[in-house]
């Protein structure tokens, strides 16, 4: 999930930028200010408790804020993530937010602060007072709110700076330029986010070609058990000798062989942004094994993408590849091709169900040109980036 806290003093333009961010990223909007004003308008118990505090420019109690946010989260399904406007405003609320995010099995992606000079803030809010009629838009209250911000809210910046999640943006200038600066920070943050991908599909679906392209685009380490096994066989290693009988028949090699190769590949890239797995997992047992391998890195599978393609097309592609220099040992035999496709149907398709239960599985049409399929895959990957931490 993409969870953003839009931060900054009163009058910085958070509301304006929030509307644009919601449209671009399809996030759930949580504005404590809007929710409080709504409660006051309907005369609810929470609204009456908050009214006198807001009119003086003070901060409403954490108990009230937490109740409002929990109600909002429960009432509206979360989409690609949450945009927080006006929360957290104290370090106590920052800890509260960590707890709320933990309940959703996610975390805050970043805090973006709009920085605007004090005279400009006062000018903006005085101008807004002429139009909005808000009771907290008068000069005395404005000055009080800004002092309150300096005293209580700025320590929140230090809280998230220590976590490497705080970014300042120049809040002066035209709205479009400010928005571009905000989205640039978000994209940069997403690129730093680990993403682990399982590319899944029957033999001949084009997984290898597309996995390499995705690895390049998203700066991921490509892990193909098939490629690693062929290298071991070519080099006549002990692993290669053990794997040869299985590879020649197009069968799944023993799990301990695959594990040793994958672990070695992972350990070769300690600074990786993530991994894209092609050809693994091919069974439910291997799916559990992959979970364990990634858990050692405090990571998990972000998305599993299934490339869907008719069986007849797989036959055609594998038969055609068997006539090229890229042929596999099992491409030249119709019996072996059938065996591999049966293996996929009988054992590997269940892997899709495994990830579907975790809401991590997406299907992509594997027919069309390489570029057409790649575009579909990148659309799915981009959504996964938003939904991952």
pLDDT in tens, 67-77: 888 888 777 76
Write the pLDDT tens digit of every residue in 92-127: 999 999 988 887 778 899 999 999 988 888 888 887
Q: How far is CA 187 from CA 132, 183, 325, in A?
A: 34, 6, 40
Helix, strand, coil share (%) of the chain residues, nearest 5: 60, 15, 30
- What pLDDT does 104 receive? 78
pLDDT of 204 reads 84
CA 263, 267, 268 angle in degrees (round to 5)?
A: 120
The residue among 86 and 192 whose pLDDT is bigger is: 86
Q: Which of 99, 141, 135, 92 is nearest to 121 (CA)?
A: 141
Distance CA 185, CA 299 (A): 23
Residue 306, sorted as left (phi over 0), alpha (psi -120 to 50) or beta, turns out to be beta
Under the banding of pLDDT at 50, 70 and 90, the label for residue 197 is very high
Can you give the pTM of this predicted structure?
A: 0.59
More confident residue, 307 or 60: 307
- Give me the mean pLDDT over the 143-157 stretch: 83
Summarize pLDDT for 275-334 with one digit per residue, the tens: 999 989 988 999 999 999 998 887 889 999 999 998 888 888 877 877 777 776 665 677
Model pLDDT for residues 348-387, shown as the tens digit of each residue? 788 999 999 988 999 999 999 999 999 999 999 887 766 6
- Could you tell me where the beta strands, DSSP code E, fall in the chain? 2-7, 28-31, 81-85, 110-115, 166-170, 197-200, 221-224, 275-278, 303-308, 361-365
Exposure class string for 185-224: b at 16+ Cβ within 10 A, else e: bbeebbeebbbbbbbbbbbbbbbbebbebbbeebebbbbb
Number of neighbouring beta carbons within 10 Å of residue 157: 18
Residues 217-244 have a mean pLDDT of 93
Q: Which residue has the higher pLDDT, 128 or 43?
A: 43
With contact defined as beta carbons under 8 Å apart, do 76 and 28 qualify? yes
Question: Is residue 183 pLDDT above 60, yes or no?
Answer: yes
Measured N-to-C along each axis, helices 62-75 and 45-55 cross at an angle, to the nearest 10 degrees, of 130
Distance between CA atoms of residues 313 and 366, nearest Å: 10
List the beta bridge partners of residue 5: 84, 111
pLDDT at 346 (0 to 100): 77
Q: Domains in the chain, ordered, with CATH?
A: 2-191 (3.40.50.300), 197-387 (3.40.50.300)
Query: In the prediction, which pLDDT does 68 show?
Result: 85
Q: For the chain, report the end-to-end CA distance as a whole number of angstroms.
A: 5
Q: What is the pLDDT of residue 176?
A: 94
Mean of pLDDT values over 38-45: 87
* H or E stretch at 374: helix 370-387
Whether residue 212 is predicted with pLDDT greater than 90 in this model: the reply is yes
Per-residue model confidence (pLDDT) at position 79: 67
- Kindly report the average pLDDT of the chain as a whole number: 86
DSSP secondary structure letters along 324-337? STT--TTTT-HHHH
User: Mean of the pLDDT values across residues 125-140?
Assistant: 71
Rounded Cα gap, residues 167 and 75, in angstroms: 30
The pLDDT of residue 257 is: 93
Nearest of 64, 72, 85, 109 to residue 9 by alpha carbon: 85
Percentage above 70 pLDDT, the chain:
93
């Amino acid at each position: 999930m993409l969870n953003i806290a839009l931060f900054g003093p009163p009058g910085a333009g958070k509301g304006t930028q929030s509307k644009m961010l919601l449209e671009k990223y399809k996030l759930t909007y949580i504005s404590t200010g809007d929710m409080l004003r709504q409660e006051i308008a309907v005369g609810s118990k929470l609204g009456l408790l908050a009214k006198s505090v807001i009119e003086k420019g003070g901060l409403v109690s954490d108990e009230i804020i937490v109740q409002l946010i929990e109600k909002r989260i429960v009432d509206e399904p979360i989409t690609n993530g949450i945009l927080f406007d006006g929360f957290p405003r104290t370090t106590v609320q920052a800890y509260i937010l960590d707890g709320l995010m933990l309940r959703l099995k996610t975390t805050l992606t970043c805090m973006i602060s709009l920085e605007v000079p004090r005279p400009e803030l006062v000018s903006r809010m005085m101008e807004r007072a002429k139009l909005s009629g808000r009771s907290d838009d008068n000069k005395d209250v404005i000055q009080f709110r800004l002092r309150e911000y300096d005293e209580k809210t700025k320590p929140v910046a230090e809280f998230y700076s220590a976590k490497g999640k705080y970014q300042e943006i120049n809040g002066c200038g035209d709205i479009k330029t400010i928005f571009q600066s905000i989205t640039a920070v978000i994209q940069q943050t997403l690129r730093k986010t680990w993403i682990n991908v399982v590319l899944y599909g029957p033999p001949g679906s084009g997984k290898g070609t597309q996995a390499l392209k995705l690895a390049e685009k998203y700066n991921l380490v490509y892990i193909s058990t098939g490629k690693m096994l062929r290298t071991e066989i070519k080099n006549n290693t002990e692993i290669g000798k053990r794997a040869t009988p299985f590879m020649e028949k197009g069968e799944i090699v023993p799990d301990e062989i695959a594990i040793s190769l994958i672990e070695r590949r992972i350990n070769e890239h300690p600074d990786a942004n993530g991994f894209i797995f092609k050809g693994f997992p091919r069974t439910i047992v291997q799916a559990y094994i992959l979970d364990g391998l990634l858990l050692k890195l405090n990571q998990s599978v972000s998305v599993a993408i299934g490339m869907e393609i008719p069986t007849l097309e797989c036959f055609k592609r594998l038969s055609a590849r068997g006539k090229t220099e890229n042929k596999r040992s099992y491409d030249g035999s119709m019996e072996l091709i059938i065996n591999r496709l049966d293996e996929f149907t009988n054992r590997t398709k269940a892997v899709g169900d495994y990830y579907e239960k975790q809401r991590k599985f997406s299907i992509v049409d594997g027919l069309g040109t390489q570029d057409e399929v790649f575009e579909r895959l990148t659309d799915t990957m981009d959504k996964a980036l938003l939904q991952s931490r």
